Structure 1
Amino acid sequence: MALNEPVAVCVDAGTTVIKAVVFDAAGRELVVAHRDTAVRHPRPERAEQDMDEVWAAVVGAVREAHQRTGAPPVRLLALTAQGDGAWLVDRAHRPVRPAVLWNDARAADLVRRWRADGVLERAFRRNASLTNAGLPNAILRALAVEEPDALAAAHAVLTCGGWLYLRLTGVLGLDPSDASAPWLDLRGAAERDAAGGNAAGRGGGPAYSDELLAAYGLTEHRELLPPLLTGSDRTAPLAGDAAEALGLPPDTPVVLAPYDIVTTALGNGTTAAGQATCVLGTTLCTEILVDQAALDTDGEPAGLTLDFGAPPLLMRAFPTLAGTGVLDWTVELLGLRDHAELSELAARVPPGSHGLRVLPYLSPAGERAPFLDPSASGLVTGLLFTHRREHLARAVLEGLAHVIRDCLAAAPHRPAELALCGGGAASALWCQLIADVTGVETVTTEDSQVGAKGALVFALTALGDHPSLSSAAAALVRRRRRCEPSPEAREVHDRDHAEFLATRELAASRWTGWRADA
């Protein structure tokens, strides 16, 4: 690449790793720089991050990536980040306290009360999202009791993406994908669209719902909700102080892409209604695009529905609390090197793992998709003296695949294929196993950093280089591997899935009492 050829720098700010990726004009990865970020647990069920440390990690990753590429001209800086949680700032735009993350469980008891009182179901009928303990409405209510001084000092509640966009541009606001759950009335938007509203169907754009705020008991904290960033608001020039820190020219266009579970889908080429993606990361997030006109809020409450500013598309997402953290736990438990060795062990065992099964609900926050139970916990069944490490390795991978199948069953449509991404997609065995368990062909792309690629797809569409997300994805996303379901394995996994669901139903009858006494 010539040194004078402009590049795009895309930041994917995950929960534990910040990645800065430099792409050339054809959308090929040139350099990837990483910075680890610390998640602190002041109590076992709590998860927090230092907001300034997250910003410093972004600065370090971007500077390294740009310099390693030879410091070429930068056409744009695009940003996607972890979602949910509560990142509080004061009027000077400084952190009020550490960020409370999406996997924090301090509000678990509150969510249980909301469910018992019907609050969760009433809210789902309006915004098609099922509140969990890691969403900002639950966290704000918990902080109002535990830390009223923090809320009194706060000027706005942001997410990670909103915090980083503020540091980069000085613009305070919230992306619609971050605001959808729990603040936006998506059913009302669909109804207005059906009645002949504007092209976006929202009378000029999405808006916060006072009805939902009242349902959550947060009316008095309405002023904490920052402006919604829509259309051109999601692009702003890089501020001078941020430019100096990053080593980039001032006024470089900064594009705020949707939060990471949406952006990873775009990076996989999931841009049309009916297409689906599953992120094999810290959360297993199974998601499918739907047309706003087909939004159904009358069924069983489950998952999240996200408006990401591409009407008439909405994202139905089922982000579990079970994910690659379960693999990390298994690697440590078995004394293995890494996930690759775990896959090598699992490959030695046939489908079904000789009767060993794992319910992989290991998060202290329980589970949030496709069902909600803050008390959910893991379970191993069928264990015999004849089972070895390789059986447990395979049973864990199969258990997580059954979670994905469970999420697909809750989705509004069965997809023809499931695009996989995230760290887990590096395992060819797991990709094949997911195809076998779900009965859906799985595909992966050439990119190692699918979230960053999705931010690029979104940014180039926002800046007018492509007329639509679909055309941008067609030009930038390249498929690599396909796995077709094995008919022989399907028979085994169909039987095992029925047992998986039956075992979970039996275990659920004891979860609440056990966790409450722990």
Structure 2
Amino acid sequence: MYAGIDIGTSGIKIALMRSDGRMADSASAPLTVSSPHPLWNEQDPDSWWTAINSAMDELKKRQDMSSVRAIGLSGQMHGATLLDKNHKVLRPCILWCDGRCYRECEELEKAVPKSRDITGNLMMPGFTAGKLLWVKKHEPEIFAKVDKVLLPKDYVRFLMTGDFASEMSDSSGSMWMDTGKRDWNDDILRATGLSRANMPKLYEGSEITGKLSADVAKRWNMNRVPVVGGGGDNEAGAVGAGLFKPGQAMLSLGTSGVYFVVSDGFHYNTKEAVHSFCHALPERWHLMSVILSC
């Protein structure tokens, strides 16, 4: 079997798949969102881990987890999970649906005039870079302690493997990547007071980023199986729907509404506010239009 773990906004889901692609079992656990101020939406990163272990406990009762051969990760995109040098969470994760940093987004575009050509996107409050500039301005004592910035699924990856790793699709939604080159961009990182040292290592979604740690493997009744890059929620869903050829498209309606089109190169249309990200597959990109409240 193979396991897929998805860190959603309202809950986590774990699916166990047979080698022929059929579902063997699944389990889920709910999550809550905190909105302490207007436009703010946050989650406790450790609640993701608690929920994952709760769902794994359910699966352990019904399945031989030692037969799991590898684990893939997907999840909500753009969330800013901040760790200090001791790898402890500094504050609640600022989520994709948080809208507090619109002024900081304007400042970033002025600081890096070519940002739209680099990322293929407008700087929007939902993306990660503006959130960090907000923390730098409004919570300087926290920003001073930031050692690593991880997206939600990649914080879970760290807890699973001990590795700081991400993949192209989720990371291209941070606004710190040169989307065409599939690499971090130093100019935009510098504009938010960060550097490559604060970022995880980049992998393709199909690459192995590490192995399950001995402690976690024991808790989940698994072997120390490989953990692969995976993808952001929309990209992972597109792969699952069979979208890998240029020109293939889908419409996804859930918490948000998404129109998704695969391409074999880096294309962008910021005049129409179309998103341009790396796909979760090597040598693939995609364009995406999103309505946050569907």
TM-score (norm 2): 0.91
- Count residues with an aligned counterpart: 292
Task: Note if contact 1:84-1:178 (Cα within 8 Å) is conserved in structure 2.
Answer: yes
CA deviation string 1:143-192 (max 9, x = no partner) = 001111111112110001110110111101222212213122234x3xxx
**Residue identity matched to 1:186:** T
Pick from 112, 122, 141 the counterpart of residue 114 of structure 2.
Answer: 122
Residue 296 of structure 1 and its aligned partner are, at CA, apart by: 3.3
Cα shift at 1:109: 2.9
Contact 1:88 1:99 (8 Å CA) reproduced: yes
Which residue matches 2:183?
Answer: 207
1:178 aligns with 2:147: no
- Whether 1:46 and 2:40 are equivalent positions in the alignment is yes
Q: What are the superposed Cα offsets for residues 213-272 of structure 1, whole Å, 9 maximum, x if unpaired? A: 35xx22x322422322347863321101212332322x1122220111100001111111
Matching of residues 81-230 of structure 1 within 5 Å = 81-112=75-106, 117=110, 122-181=114-173, 182-187=175-180, 189=181, 206-214=182-190, 217-218=191-192, 220-222=193-195, 223-230=197-204
Q: Secondary structure at the match of 1:162?
A: helix
Please give the root-mean-square deviation of Cα atoms over the aligned residues, in Å: 2.2
1:40–1:241 Cα change, 3 Å = same
Q: What is the Cα deviation at residue 95 of structure 1?
A: 0.9
Q: 2:260 aligns with which of 287, 305, 308?
A: 287
Give the whole-Å Cα distance in 2 for the aligned partners of 1:300 and 1:234. Answer: 37
Distance 1:134 1:234 in 2: 28
Q: Is the 8 A contact 2:122 2:270 kept in 1?
A: no
Work out whether 1:320 is the aligned partner of 2:269: no
Matched, 1:238 2:216: no
Over 3 Å counting, the alpha-carbon distance change for 1:82 and 1:109 in structure 2 is same
Deviation at 1:73, TM superposition (A): 1.5
Equivalent position SS for 2:91: coil
In structure 2, C-alpha distance between the alignment counterparts of 1:298 and 1:267, rounded to whole Å: 26
Secondary structure of 1:103 counterpart: coil
Secondary structure in structure 2 of the residue aligned to 1:106: coil
- CA offset digits 1:413-455 (Å, max 9, x no partner): xxxxxxxxxxxxxxxxxxxxxxxxxxxxxxxxxxxxxxxxxxx
In 2, the alpha carbon distance for the partners of 1:54 and 1:44 equals 23
Amino acid at match of 1:9: A
Name the structure with the higher helix share. 1
SS in 1 for 2:4: strand
Percent same amino acid at aligned positions? 27
Alpha-carbon distance between aligned partners in 1 of 2:80 and 2:240, rounded to the nearest angstrom: 26
- Which runs of 5 or more residues in structure 1 are unaligned? 1-6, 190-205, 324-518
In the alignment, the residues of structure 2 paired with residue 131 and residue 245 of structure 1 have an alpha-carbon distance, to the nearest angstrom, of: 41
2:228 counterpart of 1:255: yes
2:13, 2:28 within 8 Å by CA — same for their partners in 1? yes
Instruction: State whether residues 234 and 257 of structure 1, in contact with CA within 8 Å, keep that contact through their aligned partners in structure 2.
Output: no
Q: 2:281 aligns with which of 310, 332, 340?
A: 310
Structure 2: 5+ residue stretches without partners: none
Q: Which has the larger strand fraction?
A: 2
Question: Does 1 or 2 have the higher relative contact order (CA < 8 Å, sep 6+)?
Answer: 2
